[in-house]
Amino acid sequence: MAIMVGPRFRFGARARFLTALGLFALICTGVEPPVVRANLAQPAGALGSATVSTESLGGEDQYAVAVAISGRLFPNGGAPVVYLAAGENYADALAAGPIAAREGGAILYTSASTLTAAVGQELIRLAPARVEILGVTSVIDDNVLDQVTAILAPTTVVERLAGSDACGTAAALSARSFEPGAASTVFVASAQSPSDAIAAGPAAARLGSPLLLVTAASLPATTAAELLRLEPDRVFVVGSPIAVSDEVLNAIKLIVPQTERVYGADAYATAAAVAARFLPLAATDVAAEVVAGATGYADGLPAVPLAAARQAPILFAQPDDLLPTPTRDAMIAGRPTRIVIAGSVSEVVRAQLVGFSDGRLTVPAPTPAYPTYDSAYHDYGEMVTLIKATEIAYPTLVHVFSIGKSFEGRDIWAAKISSNVSVDSGKPEVLFDALHHADEHLGVEQALYMLATLTANYSTDVYVHRLVNERVVWIVFALNPDGWAYDLSGGSYHFWRKNRQETGGYYGTDINRNYGYRWGCCGGSSSNPSAYNFRGPSVWSTPEARALRDFVASRVVNGVQLIKAHVTLHTNGELILYPYCYTKSALPTDMNFDDYSTFVKLAQTMAHMNGYKAEQSSHMYVTDGDEIDWLYHQYRIFSFTFELYPKELGSLTADDYPPYSVVATQTARNRGALLYLIDMAACPYQVIGKAAQYCSGAPVVTPSSGLMP
Ligand SMILES: [Zn+2]
């Protein structure tokens, strides 16, 4: 099968393709706004699979991607024809995909007014007999035509092929290539839905069909005239009723009665529907590839001739860390053994392409999803996919495992992150955990952010590189998956905090009041099972707290607790809290002064980095049976609670359920502080100048020069 075109710019959220499609309005009537891009160069993939190979045809922008694809199609030059499309306004070129495939040619991009050196060099290398410049002079001006003419051999035919708009250009391309009656099938897509037109390209090529363009609301006269001239037996309209209205479909039916629509619920699903209908993988097609394109979609168009040559579909990725569901399902159904990625995708997305194809990743069991307006948050299943894909993408850095089961039997997933991750090295260790409280969703996103930071930045950021080499970081992503599922059940939030254990007819224990130091001692929890902070009928009564307890206990090696520092991620308040929680006394008899000083120094330094406020956990109110009290008292782990964004607002909804739009900023905000704690974990006492006293013989003592600016 085919090719992947990856995203090169990111929105803050998933499922934002409609926004991207909005960029392409007005195609058959006027000027198209430029495609927005940021350059997020990805490190080359080291991804391996026994059965699935990936090939990246990437580049800094769509111009470079097109050149890379052209190089792949014509490694020795010698293209018979090159179609030259405007890189920022390629609607006029949408129909050129199947034509270029039919003629064995390539598609390159140019800017509107001048030929760049890289594209010029590729044209010279290809030495085509013919160059077709697609679109009127306002799309690509004559200067480009003159430049192309000047750099190629005098025998080269350089000409402009254009209708009055993109639909007209598509009709002209068809008229040039197909005699009346020569095409029994015609594909139609909207010029305003480039992803549909691109996905239709390899299918049209396979059936020897031209691709014509309409708009969402009209069948242009030029398109209708071309249909009348071709007299095809049937027409496939690729796109949803939103992309191509039923009115337009019916207008086509008046010309060609056997007209049918091929589409899915969104751009990704439409591409998958085209693949399933026209370009399915045969079980014996062992050399199959999958070509996908991404938001921006410009990377997909030059991939059409390549996909067509392999009888492969084009599917799409998206600017996010998760593969779109239709693309994922196409991988599972097709099990391609070769995947060509046109453009760039993250290593984690690449790992999903491979993992779903070779069976290492499977669709998670259904759990409740976020409400539509917050769907960009990662639900439990998406979290599982993401962390397992990260393990596939970075097998030497990440090991994913479960520390145990929740009350309802869900796995409590965790990851170990360190260089040579399979070795138990004795390096100083740090533990992060999230979602003791089920409605504190931002904690999960912060945990996932740290996983991404420590892996994706390992090869590019010297500080991260050193920390991953010299420490072991453990992340428990969601300690309370049952409460989480309940909080999201039924499509709306339930402000649910506890787990889902039943006591005396009431559901839920506050896991963070169930730990085994001074449990229920001090009025910092409730004995009432209906209370939001019910401490449980007995200490350690929750399987979730026990799982955390047993995991931490397992990190005692040769009598030494290797975990030196810990952060539990909660919301909200923008606070960094340190023990003790059970008493308002700053220095009770169960804490020594050096530990107290170290806690304060670490908390204040981290607060300086992220703008939070550092204080003793009991400052606002006393809690007992709290995780950080137990971790400190039991193991002398420097254990902190981060109360994440926002500050206390007094509005429950705003406090508990911030919109996804804040996630990128609010998780990145804690990068420096959390990396600093990982750094200091070599010997936390170094921050009070007592490393020699406390940490002689420590496995690794890091100079404290690693402070982030
Ligand atoms: Zn909490």
CATH of the domain at 643: 3.40.630.10
pLDDT tops 80 at residue 22:
no
If you measure from the C-alpha of residue 443 to the centroid of ligand 1, how many angstroms do you get, rounded to a whole number?
9
Average pLDDT in the 413-434 region? 96
Helix (H) or strand (E) holding 465: helix 462-470
- Rounded Cα–Cα distance for residues 124 and 6 (Å): 27
Average pLDDT in the 233-240 region? 98
* Pair (194, 333) in one structural domain: yes
Burial class (CB in 10 A: 0-12, 13-18, 19+), 388: buried
If you measure from the C-alpha of residue 648 to the centroid of ligand 1, how many angstroms do you get, rounded to a whole number?
13
Domain-terminating residue out of 310, 330, 358: 358
Residue 107 phi/psi, 5° resolution?
A: -120, 125
Instruction: Give the pLDDT score at 319.
Output: 77
In sequence order, the 6+-apart residues with CB closer than 8 A to the CB of 313 are 1, 2, 199, 202, 203, 271, 272, 274, 275, 278, 279, 290, 291, 307, 330
Q: Please report whether residue 367 resides in a domain.
A: no
If you measure from the C-alpha of residue 624 to the centroid of ligand 1, how many angstroms do you get, rounded to a whole number?
13
In sequence order, the 6+-apart residues with CB closer than 8 A to the CB of 480 are 406, 435, 436, 437, 438, 498, 499, 511, 544
Residue range(s) defining the domain that contains residue 92: 3-358
Is 648 marked active-site?
Answer: no
Instruction: Give the pLDDT score at 48.
Output: 54
If you measure from the C-alpha of residue 138 to the centroid of ligand 1, how many angstroms do you get, rounded to a whole number?
58
If you measure from the C-alpha of residue 604 to the centroid of ligand 1, how many angstroms do you get, rounded to a whole number?
21
pLDDT in tens, 674-708: 999 999 999 999 999 999 999 986 544 444 443 33
Which amino acid makes up residue 312?
Answer: A
Total number of domains in the chain: 2
For residue 691, the tally of other CB atoms under 10 A from its CB is: 19
* Pair (184, 222) in one structural domain: yes
Domain-terminating residue out of 312, 329, 358: 358
Residue 277 phi/psi, 5° resolution?
A: -80, -40
- Whole-model pTM above 0.85? yes
Which amino acid makes up residue 223?
Answer: T
If you measure from the C-alpha of residue 434 to the centroid of ligand 1, how many angstroms do you get, rounded to a whole number?
9
If you measure from the C-alpha of residue 435 to the centroid of ligand 1, how many angstroms do you get, rounded to a whole number?
7
* Pair (343, 477) in one structural domain: no
Strand-pair partners of 53: 338
- Rounded Cα–Cα distance for residues 306 and 205 (Å): 11
* Pair (269, 383) in one structural domain: no
Is residue 215 within 8 Å of residue 194, measured between CB atoms? no
pLDDT in tens, 34-88: 333 333 333 334 455 778 888 888 888 999 999 999 999 999 999 999 999 999 9
pLDDT range class, residue 280, cuts 50, 70, 90? confident
- Rounded Cα–Cα distance for residues 26 and 267 (Å): 18
Q: Please report whether residue 609 resides in a domain.
A: yes
- Rounded Cα–Cα distance for residues 35 and 19 (Å): 11
* Pair (434, 565) in one structural domain: yes
Q: Please report whether residue 162 resides in a domain.
A: yes
- Rounded Cα–Cα distance for residues 340 and 358 (Å): 15
Instruction: Give the pLDDT score at 444.
Output: 98
Q: Please report whether residue 650 resides in a domain.
A: yes
Please choose, from the candidates 508, 517, 413, 427, the residue with its C-alpha nearest in 3D space to the C-alpha of residue 473. Answer: 427
pLDDT in tens, 599-657: 999 999 999 999 999 999 999 899 999 999 999 999 999 999 999 999 987 666 667 79
Average pLDDT in the 16-42 region? 32
If you measure from the C-alpha of residue 320 to the centroid of ligand 1, how many angstroms do you get, rounded to a whole number?
28
Q: Please report whether residue 363 resides in a domain.
A: no
* Pair (453, 348) in one structural domain: no
Average pLDDT in the 440-445 region? 98
- Rounded Cα–Cα distance for residues 89 and 543 (Å): 58
* Pair (444, 530) in one structural domain: yes
Q: Please report whether residue 365 resides in a domain.
A: no
**Residue whose token pair is 């394109």:** 293
Which amino acid makes up residue 683?
Answer: C
* Pair (546, 667) in one structural domain: yes
In degrees to the nearest 10, what's the CA dihedral of 698, 703, 707, 709? -160
Instruction: Give the pLDDT score at 26.
Output: 30
Rg, Å, the chain Cα set:
29
pLDDT in tens, 561-612: 999 999 999 999 999 999 999 999 999 999 999 999 999 999 999 999 999 9
Kindly give the pairing relationship between strand 338-343 and strand 411-417.
Answer: unpaired
* Pair (190, 291) in one structural domain: yes
Q: Please report whether residue 364 resides in a domain.
A: no
Kindly give the pairing relationship between strand 81-86 and strand 106-110.
Answer: parallel
Instruction: Give the pLDDT score at 303.
Output: 93
* Pair (332, 387) in one structural domain: no
* Pair (354, 379) in one structural domain: no
- Rounded Cα–Cα distance for residues 192 and 214 (Å): 8
If you measure from the C-alpha of residue 436 to the centroid of ligand 1, how many angstroms do you get, rounded to a whole number?
6
* Pair (406, 263) in one structural domain: no
If you measure from the C-alpha of residue 389 to the centroid of ligand 1, how many angstroms do you get, rounded to a whole number?
28
Tokens of 596: 């107290």
Running DSSP on this structure, what letter comes out for residue 646?
S
Active-site residue (options: 226, 347, 627, 643): 643
Q: Please report whether residue 636 resides in a domain.
A: yes
Helix (H) or strand (E) holding 212: strand 211-214
Largest Cα–Cα separation, the chain: 94
In sequence order, the 6+-apart residues with CB closer than 8 A to the CB of 692 are none
Average pLDDT, the chain: 90
Domain-terminating residue out of 304, 332, 358: 358
Instruction: Give the pLDDT score at 401.
Output: 98
Instruction: Give the pLDDT score at 277.
Output: 95
